[in-house]
Structures are given as C-alpha cells and as structure tokens.
Amino acid sequence: MYYQFGSKKTKWLPYLLLLPGLLFYFIISLGPSIATAFYSLTDATGIKGATVNWVGLANYREFLFMGRASADNLAALQRTLIFCFAVTLIQFTLGLFIALLVNQKLKGTNLFRTIYFMPVILGAVIQGLMWRLFLYPLGGPASKLLALFGLSSEFLGGQPSEAFAWVIFIQIWANMGTTMMIFIAGLQTIPSEMYEAATIDGASTWQVFRNITWPLLTPSVNTNLLLNIIGSLQAWQLFLVLVGYRNGTQVLGYLIYATGFGQTSGSTSSSFRQGYAAAASIILFLLVLVIGMSVQYILQRRERRILG
C-alpha cells in the first residue's frame, strides 16, 4: 500500500519526522558502539580535549600477554565464563521448573508468580542492599540459618570465591522471574488438547514433558538460553553493589568500567585508561559474539530437527 496522506508534496513528511529519532540513535548508540573498535586502538584518557594517539594493537597485547595484569585479566575472563555458565544453567533449569509448577491448575499461582517476579522492578541497588542485610554476618538471618547446621560464613566479606558464589546466587534470585515469565508465555501457547490426548493415552508426567512440552517449548527455550547467556556475560551491577571492585571477584564488565573510569568515583580523570578499556570491551564483545553465535547455530539446528 502506498503513502496517500495529503498531497504528493508531503511525501517527505515521514522522513522528516523519522529523522530526529534516527539521528539520536546513530549519535548516541550505534555510532559509539562501532567507534569502540577505533578507540581500542588508541591511548584515549578521560581528559577533555587531550590528544589521542594511535597505538595499534598495543592495548590488546597488554591486556592479554603482559605480566601480572594480564594474568588478572585472564582470570577475570575465566570468571566471566564461570559466572555465565553457572547463572545460565541454574536460572534456566529453575525458571523452567517453576514455570511448570505455577502453570498447573492450582490456587494462588498468580500470587507466587508475582512474588518471584518482584525483584525485576527493584533494580540492582535495592536488590543488593536487601541481600547485604540478609547476609549480615553478625547474626543476620542467613548466618542464623547456617548456625542451625553448625556452619558459619562471612558471606560477601569472606573468601573471594565465596563472595563470588553469593553474587551468582543473588543474580539468579534477581532474574529467575524473567526466565519463568518467558517460559510461562511459551507454555500457554501449547494447546491443551495435546495434553488431554496424551492423558487419555496414559502417558506419564515425564513422557508428556519429554514428548510434548519440551519440543513445543523450543522458541522460549531458545530465547531464554540466549538471553541468559548474553545477559550474564555482560552483567556486573550486582558485583558493584555487593562486593565492590575486589581482587578475586572481578568479571570482565566490571574490569572495563574500573579501568575506563577509575575504581572509585573520586579518582581523577587522567587515570582513566579508556583506550585500554575499549580493547577490553571488544574482547568481551567477541566472547559474547562467539558464544552467542555458536549457541544460536546449535539451537537452530535443533529447532529444524524438532519442528521440521
């Protein structure tokens, strides 16, 4: 169908009205995204108007191969992968399981859904502070609970690996609701006749799940897997609120922020290593791209096999 508003002379009007939004998008989002690659080859700092020199691949060399710092970087990279794997695996499985539970014909499922989904709106700061109180090491609820089993812990203030594990836990707590909601939306597209037919044929709960629910849930399985993987590779806000920039807990996202903008808000802008941080951003981007694309490829092959 063709544009038919007003006289022919106004055909440019849609273009004109589209222009502001498009410009914003290019200037604020798309342009800077692409420019990250260029900045990664420079020694840019946080000083206004300072000369920016071309340094080639020096930032990447330094990030990956130079001494102690690069050992720390590679450890952060490894930690990012562990974080991604643990969060995705648990959040995906738990989200699916809970979605199946609340999708039954039970009373009060709406209430449970709302409760699990609640943290999504609160944001990282409130989520983080809530859990810092709950994990208060001197007699908070979690420490009392552990004491019942004769255990004790310093939680977020304990060993780096322990603090790291708690951030994983809280990350899942905060975002499981989203995964669950996407699965519920998927479950509701499965026609109930299919379940009725299976029940008449005497299929067990597991058989129904294996042969009806799981294959027909493919679109939401794909969405959730990709969202969880990409989201957890890039997430670090909870680290900021829960543990701060602490050795042995950093992930790549936090490392980019800390090198690019100083570890504390009080540090001077001359210590901002923005070229170096841009290089780290590109490395994180490549990680997201490679993992995201491979998972996407596997998922699509699986989808063709199942849904034909």
Enumerate residues 79-138 that contact another protein by CB under 8 A: 98, 101-102, 104, 106, 109, 112, 114-126, 129-131, 133-134, 136, 138
Name the segment binding another protein (CB under 8 A); options: 75-83, 156-164, 173-181, 207-215: 173-181
The residue type of 157 is: G
Q: Which is nearer to another protein, 232 or 237 (CB)?
A: 237
Give the burial string for 247-269 (b: 16+ CB within 10 Å, else e).
Answer: eebbbbbbbbbbbbbbeeeeeee
| Contact yes or no for 233/61 (Cβ under 8 A) | no
Shortest distance in whole angstroms from residue 118 CB to another protein: 6
Taking CB under 8 A as the criterion, the residue among 73, 80, 213, 237 binding another protein is 237
Tracing tokens 């096999």 back to the chain, one arrives at 305
Min dist CB 211 to another protein, Å, is 19
Under rule CB under 8 A, residue 147 binds another protein: no
Q: Which residue has the tokens 């989201």?
A: 231
Q: Is 66 in the site for another protein (CB under 8 A)?
A: no
Measured from the CB atom, the residue of 112 and 195 that comes closer to another protein is 112
Comparing CB distances to another protein, the nearer of 213 and 220 is 220
Q: Which of 144, 210, 301, 305 binds another protein (CB under 8 A)?
A: 144
What are the CB-based long-range contacts (under 8 Å, 24+) for 138-142? Answer: none
The verdict on 284 binding another protein (CB under 8 A) reads yes
Q: Shortest gap between Cβ of 86 and another protein (angstroms)?
A: 17
Residue written as tokens 């594990």? 165
Minimum distance between the CB of residue 248 and another protein, rounded to whole angstroms?
Answer: 22
Max Cα distance, the chain (Å): 82
Q: How far is the CB of 67 from another protein (least distance, A)?
A: 23
Is the distance from CB of 242 to CB of 83 less than 8 angstroms?
Answer: no
Strands (E) located in the chain: none
What are the angstrom distances between the C-alpha of 25 and each of 8, 72, 186, 200, 263? 29, 35, 32, 55, 29
Q: How far is the CB of 88 from another protein (least distance, A)?
A: 16
- Taking CB under 8 A as the binding criterion, the range among 73-81, 149-157, 184-192, 206-214 that sits at the site for another protein is 184-192
Binding-residue pattern over the window 209 to 228 for another protein, x denoting contact by CB under 8 A: ---------xxx-xxx----
Report CA torsion sign: 149, 150, 154, 159.
Answer: negative
